[in-house]
Amino acid sequence: MSSDAKSTSVESSQPDPLLLAYQKDYTKTLTKVRSNDIPGSSGEKAELHAYVVRACKDFDSCAEDTTRTHISKTLELQESLLAPIRILPSEILYEIFQLVVRTSSRPGFEPGIRYVAPKNCMGNGKLCGTDFLFTWVCVWWRNEAPSQPAFWSCIDVRFRHRDPHPSFEMLEFLKQCISRTGSYAPMNIRIDLDYSNNQTIAPARLRVLETLLERADRWRTLTLNAYGRLDFSLQIINLFDANHARAPSVPLFPALEDLMLTLRRCDPPSLERMFHYFPPLQSLDTSALFETDTVNFELLLKLRVRVYTGHSLAGLLRKCPSLKYLKVSCFTSQHRSTLATSFIDTNVISHPLLSRIEMGSVRNIHLGAWSFVCLPSLTQLDVSLYATIPERELEEIFELGTPLTELREMIERSRCTLEKVNLNIDPPNTIAPGLALVHSGTAWFIF
């Protein structure tokens, strides 16, 4: 082999000095990026700018693909150190985080921490959520995210009857996440208990609920859904009792404003015992209410009820002087003989603030719902008729002495100004053209 060939072979086996330099720079810059070690002085910034300019020239003049790749990766990191987001105040960074969280969340519930059981019902469940993503980006974000109480104040726990019980490690991690909410941030809690068999709430799951109840004084919203065959409300009330017994003079939920309560089975005494712990609410969505319930609704602004049982809605409205929105899916009328005399309200109530009403299917609204009710401020009305109603029965709905004509009489009595009326019907040609609701006693809306 000639000397020229040997020289060429040695040169080709030696690494590219430019590649070695940028490999070293990449490792050093990556460490700075992860620790957010940004240039502070004007001299450091000028030096970094000069490096970026030189790296761009090296990239343009280099012909080796491997070297160009390392130059490009290093350039990206160096430019990242100059990015304006790295010098933003924590308050601005928090607002950016919030935008990311909101656009990544499921509709219907605020962003936060969710307990997720394994799909195959094997192994342990885990905590997940968009908020955790911020802790994986860099040391700076990992330090910033836990210091933002609002990130950790929304907790969503859902238990199905086949799910494995929460592990000790998961419970400890949940406690750590709750500790990040600080001492003052309002908390939004959702608890789902989905048991299709006759199981009660297992002790391991009760411990999760007990952990959440330790911060009950900061709960702002609560969504509690229990779909089991048993009356879970008794176990939940026992938890409330035990927690309240530790400080009897202190309200259990002093900050609670919004409550969504869905209980597949719950007797009136249990429901009333549960409401005993809740303060005056501003918003309530519940599966059941009874006219006999002695509940404080003085501050209530919005009320959704799946099933209301009573003699008339007048008794309910009398308890809600501030109510502006009411939705009743089903009204079950109690006969006078089954309702205590003290709860029968035969005095007409003129409610000054209620402006919107949504009714479920008129098939589920019994006679007497609108007796003794006057709503002078009513401006919007939503009424539902299901397409499954037979034609003969549909005609009967519009005859005298039906819930719908009772509603019309209430509107005439109220002399309200209806600005919007929604009649939900499918198909629309099944509606009787003679139905009308009065507007200010003179104008008529024909459906």
Helix (H/G/I), strand (E/B), else coil: 160:
strand
- What pLDDT sits at residue 432? 46
Judging by beta carbons within 10 Å of its beta carbon (0-12, 13-18, 19+), is residue 338 exposed, middle or buried? exposed
Q: What Å distances lie between residue 220 and 154, 212, 289, CA to CA? A: 10, 13, 22
The Cβ-side half-sphere exposure at 71, using a 13 Å CA radius, reads 22
Which H or E run includes 55?
helix 42-61
Sheet with 356-361: strands ordered across: 126-128, 113-116, 154-160, 187-194, 219-226, 258-263, 283-290, 302-310, 325-333, 356-361, 380-384, 420-424
Closest CA to 189 of 295, 114, 272, 246: 114
The candidate with the shortest Cα–Cα distance to 115, out of 223, 222, 190, 180, is 190
Alpha carbons 228 and 33: distance in angstroms, whole number: 51
Question: Cα dist. 80→15, 84, 378 in Å?
Answer: 28, 9, 57
Q: What is the pLDDT of residue 284?
A: 92
Residue of 318, 328, 434 whose CA lies nearest to 382: 328
Residue 204 CA to residue 287 CA, distance in Å, equals 27
Q: Among residues 187, 287, 281, which one has the least CA distance to residue 227?
A: 287
Helix (H, G, I), strand (E, B) or coil at 82: coil
pLDDT tens for the 447 residues of the chain, in order? 554 544 444 445 566 788 888 888 888 888 888 777 888 788 888 888 888 888 888 888 888 888 888 888 888 888 888 888 777 787 787 777 777 666 555 444 445 676 666 555 555 566 766 667 677 766 677 777 777 787 788 888 877 666 667 777 778 888 888 888 888 889 999 888 776 565 677 787 888 889 899 999 999 999 988 776 556 777 888 889 888 888 888 899 999 999 998 876 666 666 778 888 888 899 999 888 888 888 889 999 999 998 888 888 888 899 999 999 999 888 876 543 344 444 445 678 899 999 999 987 666 677 778 888 999 999 998 877 654 555 555 555 555 456 677 888 888 899 988 888 887 765 454 444 334 443 333 333 433
Angle among Cα 21, 25, 26 to the nearest 5 degrees reads 115
The pLDDT, as a whole number, for residue 86 is 78
Query: Is the separation of the CB atoms in 341 and 365 below 8 Å?
Result: no
Structure tokens at 139: 């040391």
Among 418, 325, 410, 351, residue whose Cα is nearest residue 380: 418
Whether cis (ω within 30° of 0) applies to the bond prior to 107 is no
Where do the domains of the chain lie?
A: 15-87, 88-242+251-268, 280-447
Predicted local confidence at residue 400, as pLDDT: 46
Phi, psi angle pair for 173, to nearest 5°: -65, -40
- If one counts every other C-beta atom within 10 angstroms of the C-beta of residue 253, the result is 21
CA–CA gap between residue 191 and residue 333 (Å, rounded): 31
Q: Kind of pairing, strands 113-116 and 126-128? A: antiparallel
- Characterize the bridge pairing of strands 356-361 and 325-333: parallel
